[in-house]
């Protein structure tokens, strides 16, 4: 068995090596600050806050054979050690949560066994059939407990299919410290357990109500954007930076994360996706929209061969196999792009299965302003609508909500209109008539969109009240968004306010209902559970979103005081009794700016990310690759199972699904079937997140449920969803279903042609060469 696992590992590594060779060809970036001359990428990188130990360090111990010192300016510290002897080893004891091993890949190198604290954790093949690659990351691990560890590398001398003896080498180790614990220094008292060992802490609770938190896996690419794409994989999208996972000879900025086995596959992407939004379309293809120009700041993160992402539309076709093999992101700016540049736009699937692309700024920056604002919507595929012929349509609301109005909050409502909140205001947009209906302002001056990010959800829709829509907005800040950054502090308190409103005439007349979370949160994440409850996690107690802008920055973070304990919100409970922290564990990992959380098809919550930094950093608050799994109490109960369900649901149709109820199930009336969209998560915006309960009737034998699909494409927009059976408040695992005909949005060739003829793929670069738009 062990042998089998290692051969799998070996093949995985061999595949990685192949990527490296494809690499040199694909590479067109430059790595030296201030130059535009292409140069080979060397993965060796010491993030601020990390420490590098050279092969010549006295802390590095060589034994079991002869290690030769080789001198060359190509090596870090000017030297490298290499052994040709089988069983020769090097060991290194360090204190921290992560370790990286750098060295050469060439045709003399073979397979080494890597041990951490005596456990064989990986077989690393450093063989490479090409010109020698130096300063390569041969091994990395970032999810260790914060304590003393010993890494040992043993040369096996072997390579499959060869009888030669091969070498092992070491150029340097890079150690990630215990940044998470240092960060706890700053956490104020409300978490009484924070000085105890971190994991699995819970407030006093009956075991039946106990939530658990497990840290397991690392994303390899920082998780700025997250979407579940299949029952086994999540898509992770980041910005261009020094992530340890590489592809085509440079750091990757997108990946597929295996939520069952915790493996991670890098994805190639052409353009810079910082900070894009996303949605599935009606045909199941996921689009990722908008981003950033090539970063030309004076940083080594500047250029990994990416292109301007401001008008990018990146496509990921359905990727459903459990190996995620062959899944690719497709980009072709000449054929598929937005009509205007957008940074921090929101992307929403609407009732015809197309995407509405909302707002954003025309170039990267921080707080929006009238010069860079893009106060428009456009569609993908483009539409001939309201005389636009595919071009952007002006939205007065996005002018009037300056400055703090990036990543607008948006939900498709069950009458086909769209709720939009930005800054301190909200409205209902009728895209068919291009009209805005203003709603009462969000009370008490609370701003809810970037950089005063709160979070929001459309509460579960149910046939019991004819799919009455109600929205919930939580957190944010009351900081005056006209104050200059140097007058804003990372220590200013966030808002604890939640505001909810029923979006009927009567509900709007009644206005916002106000509640207070137990703790203030900026940048929280709100996750719908199949039970209809809402988990609120992540975020900071003080400051403002972004990095490098305000006074009292922590590292580069504009926010401080991480909120480490999630809270459960029960929308159907009586006012005053909706928030609960019973049995809720406290994390030791701050989830600050650029953190994410999503429900998975298993029913648990995947929490990842946090990176208030220009590039990968290990200072407080560092770039976080560790994943946490928050498991509701229902995960350990006997759960219902979906044995058989259709893969497609047409609107209004009645279908039968086969289930198995847990033994001892009593209350036949307490059975619900939920159709869920887990949404596309980034910057506290859970775009497209949705839960629709279906009309459901249990058969007498208790083995079948007759369900009625959503009545129309406004209640649930056409596209992928997840079916879950909930009995006695315990959900089954979810099964993917395509809702609608699966054909996807109509393509208006005239509008598409007009957009391509009248726009350039790179309008931002164009404006710069004309002397800039400011």
Q: Which is nearer to ligand NAG, 18 or 747 (CB)?
A: 747
Could you say which residues in the range 166-205 bind ligand NAG, by CB under 6 A? Answer: none
Give least dist CB 685 to ligand NAG, A: 20
- Binding span for ligand NAG by CB under 6 A among 72-80, 121-129, 183-191, 740-748: 740-748
Give least dist CB 774 to ligand NAG, A: 6
Give least dist CB 744 to ligand NAG, A: 4
Q: Which of 151, 153, 372, 560 binds ligand NAG (CB under 6 A)?
A: 372
Alpha carbon distance 546, 406 (integer Å): 12
Give least dist CB 531 to ligand NAG, A: 33
Give least dist CB 385 to ligand NAG, A: 16
Cα angle value 657/727/572 (rounded, 5°) = 120
Q: Which is nearer to ligand NAG, 145 or 315 (CB)?
A: 315
Q: Which is nearer to ligand NAG, 281 or 709 (CB)?
A: 281
- Binding span for ligand NAG by CB under 6 A among 152-160, 490-498, 567-575, 744-752: 744-752
Q: Does 332 bind ligand NAG (CB under 6 A)?
A: no
Q: What distances in angstroms separate CA 626 from CA 159, 217, 228, 591, 599, one per listed residue?
A: 32, 6, 17, 10, 17
Alpha carbon distance 488, 486 (integer Å): 6
Give least dist CB 280 to ligand NAG, A: 10
Q: Which is nearer to ligand NAG, 640 or 718 (CB)?
A: 718
Structure tokens at 52: 């590098």
Alpha carbon distance 455, 107 (integer Å): 52
Q: Which of 155, 285, 557, 713 binds ligand NAG (CB under 6 A)?
A: 285
Cα angle value 75/76/82 (rounded, 5°) = 55
Structure tokens at 534: 């809402």
Structure tokens at 389: 């012929």
Q: Does 32 bind ligand NAG (CB under 6 A)?
A: no
Alpha carbon distance 139, 127 (integer Å): 13
Alpha carbon distance 199, 186 (integer Å): 18
- Binding span for ligand NAG by CB under 6 A among 62-70, 222-230, 338-346, 739-747: 739-747
DSSP 403: S
- Tell me phi and psi for residue 249, to 5 degrees: 75, 20
Structure tokens at 652: 């209004």
Q: What is the dihedral of CA 293, 485, 300, 316, to 10 degrees?
A: -40
Give least dist CB 366 to ligand NAG, A: 5
Give least dist CB 281 to ligand NAG, A: 5
Q: Does 283 bind ligand NAG (CB under 6 A)?
A: yes
Q: Which is nearer to ligand NAG, 402 or 607 (CB)?
A: 402
- Tell me phi and psi for residue 284, to 5 degrees: 90, -5
- Binding span for ligand NAG by CB under 6 A among 14-22, 69-77, 272-280, 742-750: 742-750
Q: Which is nearer to ligand NAG, 187 or 755 (CB)?
A: 755
Question: SS3 of 339, please?
Answer: coil
By rule CB under 6 A, what string of x and - marks binding of each residue 340-369 to ligand NAG? -------------------------xx--x
Q: Does 33 bind ligand NAG (CB under 6 A)?
A: yes
Structure tokens at 292: 């950033």
Cα angle value 738/744/750 (rounded, 5°) = 175
Give least dist CB 241 to ligand NAG, A: 16
By rule CB under 6 A, what string of x and - marks binding of each residue 375-394 to ligand NAG? ------x-------------
Give least dist CB 601 to ligand NAG, A: 21
Give least dist CB 300 to ligand NAG, A: 8
Q: Which of 217, 679, 718, 744 binds ligand NAG (CB under 6 A)?
A: 744
Q: Which is nearer to ligand NAG, 352 or 525 (CB)?
A: 352
Q: Which is nearer to ligand NAG, 165 or 317 (CB)?
A: 317
**Alpha carbon distance, N-terminus to C-terminus of the chain:** 63
Say if CB 46 and CB 98 are below 8 A apart: no
Structure tokens at 92: 């290194």
Q: Does 444 bind ligand NAG (CB under 6 A)?
A: no
Say if CB 283 and CB 353 are below 8 A apart: yes
How many Cα neighbours within 13 Å face the side chain of 213? Answer: 23
What's the chain's Rg over C-alpha atoms? 26
Burial of 238 (0-12, 13-18, 19+ CB in 10 A): buried
Find where tokens 């505001």 sit: 499
Give least dist CB 299 to ligand NAG, A: 8
Q: Which is nearer to ligand NAG, 31 or 531 (CB)?
A: 31
Give least dist CB 298 to ligand NAG, A: 4
Give least dist CB 651 to ligand NAG, A: 19
Alpha carbon distance 329, 237 (integer Å): 11
Closest listed residue to residue 230, CA positions, set 255, 252, 259, 264: 259
Find where tokens 């629709």 sit: 692
Q: Which of 487, 573, 747, 753 binds ligand NAG (CB under 6 A)?
A: 747
Give least dist CB 381 to ligand NAG, A: 5
Q: How many residues bind ligand NAG (CB under 6 A)?
A: 16
- Binding span for ligand NAG by CB under 6 A among 200-208, 595-603, 608-616, 743-751: 743-751
Q: Which is nearer to ligand NAG, 280 or 634 (CB)?
A: 280
What is the bridge-based pairing of β-strands 654-660 and 671-677?
Answer: unpaired
Sign of the four-CA dihedral 83, 89, 95, 101 = positive
Q: Which is nearer to ligand NAG, 172 or 372 (CB)?
A: 372
Q: What is the dihedral of CA 445, 449, 451, 452, to 10 degrees?
A: 30
Strands (E), 126-194: 133-141, 147-155, 168-170, 172-176
- Binding span for ligand NAG by CB under 6 A among 181-189, 278-286, 422-430, 663-671: 278-286
Q: Which is nearer to ligand NAG, 97 or 373 (CB)?
A: 373
What is the bridge-based pairing of β-strands 168-170 and 79-83?
Answer: antiparallel
Sign of the four-CA dihedral 539, 543, 545, 546 = negative
Give least dist CB 498 to ligand NAG, A: 30
Closest listed residue to residue 492, CA positions, set 502, 503, 482, 480: 480
Q: Which is nearer to ligand NAG, 531 or 613 (CB)?
A: 613
Closest listed residue to residue 253, CA positions, set 264, 266, 263, 265: 266
How many residues make up the chain in this entry?
774
Q: Does 317 bind ligand NAG (CB under 6 A)?
A: yes
Question: SS3 of 636, please?
Answer: helix
Q: Which of 153, 226, 228, 281 binds ligand NAG (CB under 6 A)?
A: 281
Give least dist CB 35 to ligand NAG, A: 11
By rule CB under 6 A, what string of x and - marks binding of each residue 293-312 to ligand NAG? -----x--------------
Closest listed residue to residue 685, CA positions, set 594, 752, 552, 571: 594
Q: Which is nearer to ligand NAG, 281 or 377 (CB)?
A: 281
Q: Does 261 bind ligand NAG (CB under 6 A)?
A: no
Q: Which of 371, 435, 444, 516 binds ligand NAG (CB under 6 A)?
A: 371
Binding site for ligand NAG (CB under 6 A): 33, 281, 283, 285, 298, 315, 317, 365-366, 369, 371-372, 381, 744-745, 747
């Amino acid at each position: 068995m062990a042998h089998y696992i290692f051969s799998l590992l070996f093949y995985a590594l061999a595949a990685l090596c192949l990527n490296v060779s494809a690499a040199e060809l694909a590479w067109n970036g430059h790595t030296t600050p201030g130059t535009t001359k292409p140069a080979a990428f060397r993965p060796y990188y010491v993030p601020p806050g990390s420490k590098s130990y050279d092969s010549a360090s006295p802390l590095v111990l060589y034994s079991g054979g002869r290690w030769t010192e080789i001198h060359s300016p190509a090596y870090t510290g000017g030297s490298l050690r290499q052994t040709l002897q089988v069983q020769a080893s090097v060991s290194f004891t360090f204190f921290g949560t992560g370790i990286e091993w750098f060295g050469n890949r060439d045709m003399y190198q073979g397979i080494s066994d890597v041990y951490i604290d005596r456990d064989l954790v990986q077989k690393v093949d450093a063989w490479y059939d090409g010109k020698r690659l130096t300063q390569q990351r041969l091994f990395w691990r970032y999810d260790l407990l914060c304590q003393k560890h010993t890494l040992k590398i043993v040369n096996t001398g072997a390579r499959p299919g060869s009888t030669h003896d091969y070498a092992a080498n070491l150029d340097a180790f890079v150690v990630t410290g215990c940044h998470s614990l240092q960060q706890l220094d700053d956490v104020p008292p409300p978490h009484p357990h924070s000085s105890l060992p971190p994991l699995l802490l819970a407030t006093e609770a009956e075991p039946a109500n106990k939530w658990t938190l497990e840290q397991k896996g690392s994303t390899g690419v920082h998780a700025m954007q997250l979407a579940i794409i299949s029952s086994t994989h999540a898509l992770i999208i980041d910005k261009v930076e020094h992530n340890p996972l590489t592809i085509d000879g440079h750091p990757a900025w997108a990946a597929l994360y295996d939520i069952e086995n915790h493996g991670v596959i890098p994805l190639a992407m052409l353009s810079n996706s910082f900070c894009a939004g996303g949605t599935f379309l009606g045909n199941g293809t996921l689009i990722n929209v908008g981003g950033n120009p090539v970063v030309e700041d004076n940083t080594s993160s500047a250029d990994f061969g990416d292109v301007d992402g401001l008008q990018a539309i990146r496509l990921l076709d359905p990727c459903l196999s459990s190996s995620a093999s062959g899944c690719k992101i497709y980009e072709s700016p000449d054929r598929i792009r937005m009509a205007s540049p957008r940074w921090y736009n929101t992307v929403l699937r609407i009732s015809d299965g197309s995407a509405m692309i909302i707002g954003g700024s025309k170039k990267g920056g921080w707080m929006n302003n009238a010069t860079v604002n893009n106060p428009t919507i456009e569609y993908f595929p483009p539409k001939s609508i309201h005389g636009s012929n595919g071009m952007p349509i002006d939205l007065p609301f996005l002018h009037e909500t300056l400055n703090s109005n990036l990543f607008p909050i948006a939900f498709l409502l069950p009458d086909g209109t769209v709720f939009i909140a930005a800054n301190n205001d909200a409205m209902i947009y009728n895209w068919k008539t291009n009209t805005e209906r203003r709603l009462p302002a969000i009370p008490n001056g609370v701003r809810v969109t970037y950089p005063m990010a709160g979070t929001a959800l459309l509460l579960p829709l149910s046939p019991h009240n004819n799919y009455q829509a109600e929205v919930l907005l939580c957190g944010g800040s009351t900081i005056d968004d006209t104050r200059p950054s140097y007058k804003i502090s990372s220590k200013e308190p966030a808002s604890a306010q939640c505001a909810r409103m029923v979006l009927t005439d009567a509900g709007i007349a009644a206005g916002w209902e106000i509640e207070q979370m137990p703790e203030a949160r900026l940048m929280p994440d709100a996750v719908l559970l199949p039970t209809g409850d809402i988990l609120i996690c992540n975020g900071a107690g003080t400051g403002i979103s972004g990095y490098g802008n305000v006074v009292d920055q922590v590292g580069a973070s504009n926010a401080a005081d991480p909120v480490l304990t999630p809270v459960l919100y029960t929308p159907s409970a009586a006012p005053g009794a909706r928030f609960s922290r019973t049995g809720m564990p406290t994390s030791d990992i701050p989830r600050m700016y650029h953190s994410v959380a999503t429900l998975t098809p298993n029913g648990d919550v995947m929490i990842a990310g946090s990176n208030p930094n220009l590039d990968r950093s290990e200072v407080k608050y560092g770039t976080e690759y560790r994943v946490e799994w928050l498991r509701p109490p229902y995960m350990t109960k006997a759960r219902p199972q979906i044995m058989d369900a259709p893969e497609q649901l047409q609107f209004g149709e009645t279908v039968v699904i086969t289930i198995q109820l847990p033994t001892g199930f009593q209350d036949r009336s307490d059975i619900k079937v939920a159709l869920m969209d887990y949404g596309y998560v980034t910057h506290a915006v859970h775009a497209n997140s949705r839960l629709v309960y279906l009309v459901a009737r249990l058969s007498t034998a208790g083995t079948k449920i007759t369900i009625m699909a959503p009545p129309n494409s406004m209640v649930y927009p056409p596209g992928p969803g997840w079916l879950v059976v909930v009995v006695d408040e315990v959900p089954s695992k979810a099964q993917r279903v395509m809702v609608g005909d699966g054909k996807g949005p109509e393509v208006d060739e005239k509008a598409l042609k007009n957009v391509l003829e009248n726009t350039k793929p790179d309008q931002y670069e164009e404006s710069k060469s004309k002397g800039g738009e400011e």
